[in-house]
Structure 1
């Protein structure tokens, strides 16, 4: 029953519907109820694998292969999550982490779990973190909402979890009844694309001219900043830079778009800003997708290739006079990049993705739901651009 319930938590909470994210907060109670460490491990695996169920199909799409590589990566990605939860588990009644206080013992252990799975190195694959639900339960509360959600998760591991569930359920119902989508920042416009796997791979002049034409048409509404998806400009070179700057020189706009900066040691997944006055790289991705993009073992063995991870750099960047929190693709699925950015008090959350490989899955919907939840928590406008 615990395993079935944990799978249901993962399936429903991470369905891609933002208002269902609080279902994930039942998981700590199921973990705490587990009578054996092995059961706790299976409960944790059930939740994680259900929440990340789109990964096998996504990997198969990305590599044009069968499901086996995706299944192996899916299970491998769950290992750190399961290991942390299994190691931190204690007996439901007889745990004695804090002498004489088994309830506090479980809560303290789950606090450690939440921190470890939210921050590197375990947080590198820390998808489906229940804290993401804070924006649904406590929209506009900011850091206090995050603290209240963390406290609720800890109480869910104690004997009074039914009372905590009822209280959190009340906040959930009130939020759902009064829910509004985050605002789009004034003067900003997202340009979604449907170019499939060709986006970023087709670097022809014709492709760039088509994108430029799309932006120029969009600029007719008077917006000042235009956001294009991850990888929209392909390989970033001086020639591409000049082409784009010359093409929009007569417009008073800024184009913010994804690109790749390549060198012999590897590449950076970046956002670039192009305007009539300047062209610059404004953001280098902090956490590229592990294995498919980020392959640190290549550098360790003296080989080149793979995307670099800029873990603690450019957490918030300036676009004109506006400070933004940039999140590229995978960064929208894990906890620490957005929390790290919020420490710098941005005015806008800017999220991009190139989700052609997620066809047949809910991965892009989950990315968007997670981003919206964070925007609601900190009462920030959000702009998102995706390619599918």
Structure 2
């Protein structure tokens, strides 16, 4: 009689335990992102993806471990895509399955520390970087706040060290080096956290949360809807101006992503009519791109009024693939051709915007890391927000970790229904 599966010599209990842990650890890491909890819990637990992957003994096992991580994090996509875009469940399911497979694939190759680092970087930059949410790179913000590029390098070093300790290198020197590095880097992390004080936004910078739902497409309805969010923002400004400190203050008013819908001269006139002299309003809107090769395409943008007239100051380098960015669609699609988003000086402050989906992936944050803004605008539009929506949590957690790494203050503006 042949031995049963669990008693077979080829499957000793230690091997079975490693295989179980390789999946369980990545599942725990994923749940830290998607379940309610402290903002930095997901980034802090994300290195468990590396531990789980390296506990697997084969490419197939490593792929399954990574697929568990990305599959759980993306499991809410079908419902959220349907709620936001109304594009049918199959689009959401397809995006969930495809993105999970694409992100899990490279981890099958990640059998050593240096390969782990390569995979992390591959999944942080285009083309895979357009889908690279919940990256373990965000742990750098948890461990090394305020250290910027140096903190990012230390974060990569500690992830490499973790990988070497889980799957030791063949040489004793490499293992010794990784152990010494882990001690030194851990000390640097303790020092960085002890020395870090979260910065406050500059005086007069106001993030305004609105409640006006989505763009309707009807001209007259949009005029009324625009007046609602303009009135909501004006009320916040008036309340601040009544205080002793705000009596002579000039305000920078930050409004949510796409709150104005399709931007045009009429909307601009409505906003200017409500602005106090000297104030600057930063308004999320869909702006028709002005380059011939983007004909008919839109930018998911932030328009500035009051400082230099009306100007598109920021535009998302990565609108939601398959939802907003649809290269195959000639209708109202957004462009991802503007891949680099430069820092702008607004009211004397170096400013950068993380626009909704950009907040959850590493690629836009690497751009910010290279430029070191003083203020990050975190603008989102969650008018749909079904119960238990995961995307807002992943975006908020990722943004919190990266802004912490930058040492930048954050001004948040969110639209809901």
TM-score over 0.5 (shorter chain) = yes
CA shift, 1:158, in A, is: 1.7
CA shift, 1:174, in A, is: 8.4
Out of 129, 139, 157, the residue aligned to residue 135 of structure 2 is: 129
| 1:212 aligned residue | 230
For the pair 1:328 / 2:355, whether they are aligned, the reply is yes
| 2:207 aligned residue | 190
| Cα 1:382–1:136 shift into 2, 3 Å | same
CA shift, 1:167, in A, is: 8.4
Q: How does 1:63-212 map to 2 (within 5 A)?
A: 63-64=85-86, 67-86=89-108, 88-90=109-111, 106-159=112-165, 182-198=199-215, 204-212=222-230
CA shift, 1:246, in A, is: 2.8
Q: Is the 8 A contact 2:54 2:166 kept in 1?
A: no
Equivalent residues, number? 367
CA shift, 1:199, in A, is: 7.8
Q: How does 1:208-357 map to 2 (within 5 A)?
A: 208-220=226-238, 221=240, 222=246, 224-248=251-275, 250-262=276-288, 265-275=296-306, 278-298=309-329, 303-357=330-384
| Cα 1:166–1:15 shift into 2, 3 Å | farther
Which structure has the larger Rg over C-alpha atoms?
Answer: 2
TM-score (norm 1): 0.85
Q: Is the 8 A contact 1:285 1:310 kept in 2?
A: no
Alignment partners' CA distance in 2, 1:71 and 1:384: 30
- In structure 2, stretches of 5+ residues that fail to align are 1-19, 169-178, 241-245, 290-294
| 2:58 aligned residue | 36
Q: Is the 8 A contact 2:210 2:232 kept in 1?
A: no
For the pair 1:372 / 2:378, whether they are aligned, the reply is no
Question: What are the superposed Cα offsets for residues 345-371 of structure 1, whole Å, 9 maximum, x if unpaired?
Answer: 322111101012332213212212221
Q: Is the 8 A contact 2:144 2:193 kept in 1?
A: no
Q: Is the 8 A contact 2:55 2:167 kept in 1?
A: no
RMSD: 2.8
Alignment partners' CA distance in 1, 2:202 and 2:338: 27
Q: Is the 8 A contact 1:284 1:310 kept in 2?
A: no
TM-score (norm 2): 0.80
